Structure 1
Amino acid sequence: MKLQTQITLKKETRNLIDYTSTILMLGSCFTENIGNKLNYFKFNSEQNPFGILFHPKAIENLITNVINEKKYTDADLVFQNERWHSFDAHSNLSSTNKNELLNNLNSSINLTNKKLTEASHIIITLGTSWVYRFIETDVIVANCHKVPQKKFLKELLSVDKIIEILDAKIALLKSVNNNVNIIFTVSPVRHLKDGFIENTQSKSHLISAIHSVVNARKNTFYFPSYEIMMDELRDYRFYKEDMIHPNKTAINYIWEKFTATWFSEDSKSTMKEIDVIQKGISHLPFNKESKQHQQFLKNLSIKKENIKKSYLL
């Protein structure tokens, strides 16, 4: 008896991710889930230097600002609820200290600029087509930072507009890193605050637009995170208690699909070794001073050094 429909995923045969790859991840909160996995397995990766960015325009603005090496000043900040914010960044970067925020923003510009030019793979996760336009400046923001809603206009990006944004994004990235592989995916997180129908419309716009721009011959690809969640994991037991975000089981499942599609066989072997080391590090011994535990730590240290020597981690 078959109790699940499964998406057929084509194993990529070139430009695979391995331990020589440099990976930059940008986008919605699902980016954090995959980024945390990459960190756990010690890949050379960076995720969301400007924090979580939910919609395509926010990511395009970031890439434009990074390539142009934008210098943030007081004029780019807004003060709300006793904290300084940037409409270009997530509230995780916000601060009670204006100079601290400016330093963080400008440092993130420099870091991301370096990563854009070095990256072998850029993974972009799009979360929603709904955007907010700040009326005072007529600019679409990345985050509203709880500024009163009356100061914004809510808009739904059309498929054509998203295609225009994605084309611009690809052109910008290729202008500084022509050989980079760009992997688009749509976040499986449902934005139900917009409404059930509105969320479906939003995701549909993203998926339609992405499929209009991806082209394997131009090293632009699509990975179906959203479809795996909606079709293979069609059950609320794969959601957190909020019934919106994928839970740990779902994240692990999608991660396994991603590694099966995009990771080299050699890297998978190394990941198994690193997993053993990570579990060993988190192991709580009965007696820290015992000879057995000291030998265990010594063996872990040898394994770490061997991996470092093999991959220059």
Structure 2
Amino acid sequence: MQFTTKIPIEKFSKPITYDSNILSLGSCFADNMDEKFDYYKFSTVTNPFGIIFNPISLERIVHRIVNQVAFTENAIFFHNEAWHCFEVHSELSHPNKDEFLKQLNSILNDVHSQIRSLTHCIITLGTAWVYRNNALDKIVANCHKVPQNQFTKELLSVAAIQKSIENIVTLVQQINKEVQFICTVSPVRHSKDGFVENNVSKAHLLSAVYTCKASLNIAYFPSYEIVLDELRDYRFYAEDMLHPNAIAIQYIWQRFKETVIDATVYEIMDEVATIQKALAHKPFNPESESHLKFLANLKHKIQLLQNQIPHIQFK
């Protein structure tokens, strides 16, 4: 007897291994998945310019990275005792203008170099609703608590989203033609837009990705559909009833692992998980002989793993 609607997902033709270099861009759900990548010690960079929810802003930041268009004073502004940039998340905002620009351009150069060695690029789209700054006549990635009357809210068309996805792929391929793109739509519900409006937004994103999947060399991972059709219960949501909770994220990761990560590395992932659990262990008596043996054994396991995969490092 089956109690859920299982989403069929074909195994990816270019799966992720420990030799892969991964760049993840997009909504907060990308950060959720990055925690799993980081736990299992894959080589990954996620949202170097912070969370970006809409495809237009993602395209703009990718254009800046690929073409190495440096951030200048024209791209930043001072508000509420800090310097901000409408193209990046507020977590990067800084009280010192020069330090802020230095930080932004350092990240820009680092990510440009990373794209050259990428094997996989994961794009997680969050919303088709955007805010256009009236004075600049530009869609922003983050409003930085600037008064709402300085923005106009708009719904991106399916065609506009499709064009942005196509442009992102084309831009990255200018410097690395071997990248495997994976698109997904965030299952996080944007209730502030309105529940009907959230559904319209997700529909536009899904329609655009569906069209791009057929016309471009990109894969699609159905995280949105897994939450909607396989889980379909509020027990899989956090307290705000909008974000998937830890159980849901773990389940989505399991489906991701089954279809996107090469089965040949599962044994290594299990070994990494064993080490991670051991590192999290809190001894009753840190000076006991048994704990010292435990630490020596753990050190040996880490060394064996690092001999096999040198880039794996544990804190």
Shift of 1:78: 1.5
* Displacement of 1:24: 0.5
1:164-208, CA deviations, whole angstroms, 9 ceiling, x for partnerless residues? 111111111111110100000000100010000100000000000
Q: What residue number does 2:68 align with?
A: 69
Counterparts of residues 106-255 of structure 1 (less than 5 Å): 106-215=105-214, 219-255=217-253
Name the residue aligned to 1:283. Answer: 281
1:138 and 1:52 mapped to 2: Cα distance?
22
**Partner-residue secondary structure (3-state), 2:303:** helix
| Structure 1 residue 52: Cα displacement | 0.2
Distance 1:24 1:165 in 2: 17
SS of 1:221's equivalent?
strand
Q: What is the aligned partner in structure 1 of residue 309 from structure 2?
A: 311
- What corresponds to 1:100 in structure 2? 99
Aligned equivalents of 2:229, 2:205: Cα separation in 1: 17
With 162-171 and 95-104 compared, the bigger mean Cα shift is at 95-104
Q: 1:94 deviation in Å?
A: 0.6
Letter in 2 for 1:204: A
Report the Cα distance in structure 2 between the residues aligned to 1:190 and 1:114, rounded to whole angstroms: 34
Deviation >2 Å, runs of 4+: none
Aligned length: 311
How high is the TM-score relative to the length of structure 2? 0.96
Distance in 2 separating the partners of 1:60 and 1:26: 10
Quick one: distance in 1 between partners of 2:165 and 2:263? 31
Is the partner of 1:214 in helix, strand or coil?
helix
> Within 2, Cα distance between the matches of 1:209 and 1:293?
55
Name the counterpart of 1:4. 4
Alignment TM-score, normalising by the size of structure 1: 0.97
Report deviation, 1:215.
4.3
SS of 1:253 mapped into structure 2: helix
Amino acid corresponding to residue 85 of structure 1 in structure 2: H
Tell me the equivalent position of 2:37.
38
Provide the rounded CA distance (Å) in 1 between the counterparts of 2:137 and 2:19: 43
CA distance, structure 2, for counterparts of residue 102 and residue 208 of structure 1:
37
Distance 1:230 1:68 in 2: 38
Asked if 2 retains the 8 angstrom alpha-carbon contact of 1:180 and 1:219, the reply is no
Deviations 1:117-147 (A, max 9, x none): 1110000100000111111111111100011
What fraction of aligned residue pairs are identical, expressed as a percent? 47
